[in-house]
Structure 1
Amino acid sequence: MTNALSRFLTPVACTCKDFTHPWTDSCANASAGVLLAAIPYSLRIYTMVYALSLLMRHRIPRLGDLKRNLHGIIQSTAFLVSNGYTFILFNCLLRRLIGHYVCATVAFVPSFISSYASILIERPARRPLLALYMANLATESIWNMAEVRGYVRSIPQGQTLIFGVSISALLYLYRLGLHKTTCKDSLFNVLRFFVDKREEGPVVAKAGCEGAATATATATEASVSAASTSSSANTQRSRSPLDFRSINVLVQIYSRFLDAVKSRHPSCPHRDNCWHYALMGGLRPFVGGIGLQLALRLIMNFKKIMQFKLDVRKTIFNKDTLNLGIFLGWFSFLYKGVSCTLRHSFGRDDPRFAIPAGLLASTAFTKYPDVTVALYVMWKALQ
């Protein structure tokens, strides 16, 4: 421990010119140069971010929306620019105050002060998002370092497992309705787009789900013939909860799956039949994902487009462009399809259905296995 501490405080024979700004001898000129170079880059990034946020609202922006977004672009740009140039500023300042570098002042201390000072410039609503984004990068970096040193070992499709468990937890909270009270977060607005607003909790037991067949049979018994009564009783038995102790349970599940395809259970929150609900629910995210991927590719290659140097077939029209759309569409389709099947099978709606539905739907993540997305959802679930 003493040896490690002594190494941590051992002076480093290096100047800030050699380490931080080899292009100039002046620390002030280096900080000012990074400041000027970071402005257009940061402005371009946040203009794209806020423009996409406007598009995600699916309505024509009003004058007030444009003013708020312009203010947000300027404020977020100031945050990112200050985070860049103040690192050099505090790095050089600490070396001059101490007289030399130590292990802590080479990067950790100046970057901590720089990040803390710059995030105070950003809007308070965006600070948790930035903190979680950096937690993603830190988690991934630490894992990669540990894996290189042989301390841990990655498993195939591990990011899909992380995503599946995390998104299932978030969907369970969504179906409980806690996203409206104790678990408010902007991520649930994104989930609402993919799993539908009608799946939103809290789940309310509807008249006509369990016990509806009994009430119908009782009312019919007083007004119709014995044949109608028998038919109602058969309907009641077909909608009763599944008996998993019976070997016929698989036949019952298959029969109710066919019912889900052809009809709508009273506990389902949608009006169309379940097959139409799941299919159309998956089609919209599929088209939206492809459109978003195309838009990002066009924006990232804007310079090449203006110079007529873009290979359209290679850059845009390839199978990778479909991956995001396939993931989003397949995820939505599976989640809604499994949820409807469970409602038909058990004869009721239940927030716990979000867990198996979310786990099965997360298999679509194999088409877009992004580690950053998986870690972001994980940290959101933990938050």
Structure 2
Amino acid sequence: MVQASKMMWDRAVGDADCCDLIHPWTPGCVSGATTMFWSSFKGSCKFYAVLYVIQLLIRGKKMNKKFLLQQFDSYLKSAAFGCLVGTSFVPFNCFFKRFLFQRFYYHTTVLFPMTLSGVGIYFEPPHRRYLVVSTFFNLVLEYWVRMLEHQGIVKRTPLRETIIFMFGSAYLFYLMRQQKDKNKKMSLLWFFTPPKVNRQPIESTSDKCDKSSLYCPHTGSCSDYIIKGYIQMFGLGCAMTMLRTVVPKLGTPVKAIKSITAKHFTLGLFLGGYMGIYRLVVCILCRQFKRDSARHAIPAGFLAGTAFWFNPNLSVSLASITSILHILCSRLYEHKILPENLPLPELLYALCQGLLFHARVMHPEQCPRYILNLVHTVTSGKVTLVYETFLKMLAIADFNK
């Protein structure tokens, strides 16, 4: 993939017409915007349908009619959000080219219009909005780290990412367990929410129950609690991997089975080990000190982070930082340090969206893979076509030079 510098961009497409770059599939701006609308409509419906189905499967709880109707309503709003963002790329650029800037500048072709279209986040339901903001902020952090690595400023290794994850996990679990009962549950970008601190011993009706486990934040025996958590998360990790890599090959069942290797179980080992070690350490500390405490989450989260070694992933290692900032920012709102009428999350999302779409075109090698797939799916490949058109124009400019 080619990275576009400002000089390259100005030389190749600065004076191009919008039909040559923004909507190469049709000469007219209106028809170009119409085509982009239908492409974004179909792509958004497809993308969010898969996303919501996966969320329902992960939830795994009994779902009644009311809940399903709420999910369908949220799905329609999310699809409208995706359609708006995808569609806006063409009309915004055509308008800016003709009436404001007169040419395509490096920062006004993708970064500026896609930042403006970030206001579409208000289409998302409130309970999903902050999760979307956290996801995009985490992707921006990943993009910046990849850029720093590309420039030789930082060097990534599995060991360094594991250490970052261990410290981040420790502090994050501590903050999560500090939350009071009165605080409403936040949609954090994390695998699971630890139980609240057990302020009073949990009564048990069983005479066989180990009395020392009454101080733990769970009912029943500690061994059942730990093993159950490990199996659930291990199964979830393996299922997610199989859905992503094996299920698409089911057209040839023999090849699908033969394609299964040890790598397909690394995510399961990570998630299962992460949950199992965390619960094990918390139970040991509760039994040792005969009380539960939010501070128990610090060594538990730190040691549980060692499971990250099974499946190192930059985005996951940075997710702890994103979730920590989410909690700390929410506390600023709770203590009235930040005014409630300040739409900081929505503004942050708009900036993140602009940066990530800019990265998709200008720095595709450093752009997170999630964004590459999202932009391609939501626009039904139209933005990919725009990028390929830019590469052709760049090749022509280099040839003429």
Query: Is the pair's TM-score, using the shorter chain for normalization, greater than 0.5?
Result: yes
Tell whether 2:118 aligns with 1:110. no
The equivalent position to 2:225 in structure 1, one of 277, 281, 284, is: 277
Q: Which amino acid aligns with 2:318?
A: L
The equivalent position to 1:293 in structure 2, one of 241, 244, 253, is: 241
Structure 1 residue aligned with 2:134: 132
- Native 8 Å contact 1:203 1:351 kept in 2: no
Q: Distance in 2 between matches of 1:73 and 1:175?
A: 31
Structure 2 residue aligned with 1:176: 178
Instruction: Output aligned runs, 1:1-383, within 5 Å.
Output: 12-98=14-100, 99-116=102-119, 118-178=120-180, 180-182=181-183, 184-187=185-188, 190-192=191-193, 195=194, 200-204=195-199, 206=201, 264-270=212-218, 272-297=220-245, 301=248, 305=250, 308=252, 311-315=255-259, 317-383=260-326
- Native 8 Å contact 2:177 2:294 kept in 1: yes
Q: Which amino acid aligns with 1:14?
A: A
RMSD value, Cα: 3.3
- Native 8 Å contact 1:160 1:366 kept in 2: yes
Q: CA deviation at 1:308?
A: 4.9
Q: Distance in 1 between matches of 2:156 and 2:219?
A: 44
Instruction: State percent identity of aligned pairs.
Output: 28
Q: Distance in 2 between matches of 1:343 and 1:143?
A: 38
Q: Which amino acid aligns with 1:327?
A: F
1:88-144 CA distance string (max 9 Å, x none): 21011100002223333222211111222x223222332222222221222221222
- Native 8 Å contact 1:264 1:271 kept in 2: no
Structure 1 residue aligned with 2:377: none
- Native 8 Å contact 2:189 2:322 kept in 1: no
- Native 8 Å contact 1:27 1:89 kept in 2: yes
Q: Distance in 1 between matches of 2:31 and 2:213?
A: 70
Q: Distance in 2 between matches of 1:205 and 1:333?
A: 24
Q: CA deviation at 1:65?
A: 2.0
The alignment partner of 2:59 has SS state of coil
1:208-261 CA distance string (max 9 Å, x none): 9xxxxxxxxxxxxxxxxxxxxxxxxxxxxxxxxxxxxxxxxxxxxxxxxxxxxx
Tell me the TM-score normalised to structure 1 length.
Answer: 0.71
| Residues 308 and 37 of structure 1: CA distance in aligned 2, closer, same or farther (over 3 Å) | farther
1:6-36 CA distance string (max 9 Å, x none): xx99993232233322232222222222222
Q: Which amino acid aligns with 1:204?
A: R
1:142-169 CA distance string (max 9 Å, x none): 2222222223333443332333223222
Q: Distance in 2 between matches of 1:207 and 1:41?
A: 50
**Alignment: residue pair count:** 313
Indicate the larger mover: 13-22 or 126-135: 13-22
Structure of larger gyration radius: 1
Unaligned stretches of 5+ in structure 2?
Answer: 1-8, 204-209, 327-401
- Native 8 Å contact 2:233 2:275 kept in 1: yes
- Native 8 Å contact 1:34 1:84 kept in 2: yes
Kindly indicate whether structure 1 or structure 2 has the higher relative contact order, using CA contacts under 8 Å at least 6 residues apart.
2
Q: CA deviation at 1:312?
A: 1.0
Q: Distance in 2 between matches of 1:267 and 1:36?
A: 57
Q: Distance in 2 between matches of 1:270 and 1:126?
A: 28
Q: Which amino acid aligns with 1:277?
A: Y
Q: Distance in 2 between matches of 1:150 and 1:164?
A: 25
Q: CA deviation at 1:267?
A: 2.3
- Native 8 Å contact 2:22 2:90 kept in 1: yes
Tell me the TM-score normalised to structure 2 length.
Answer: 0.68
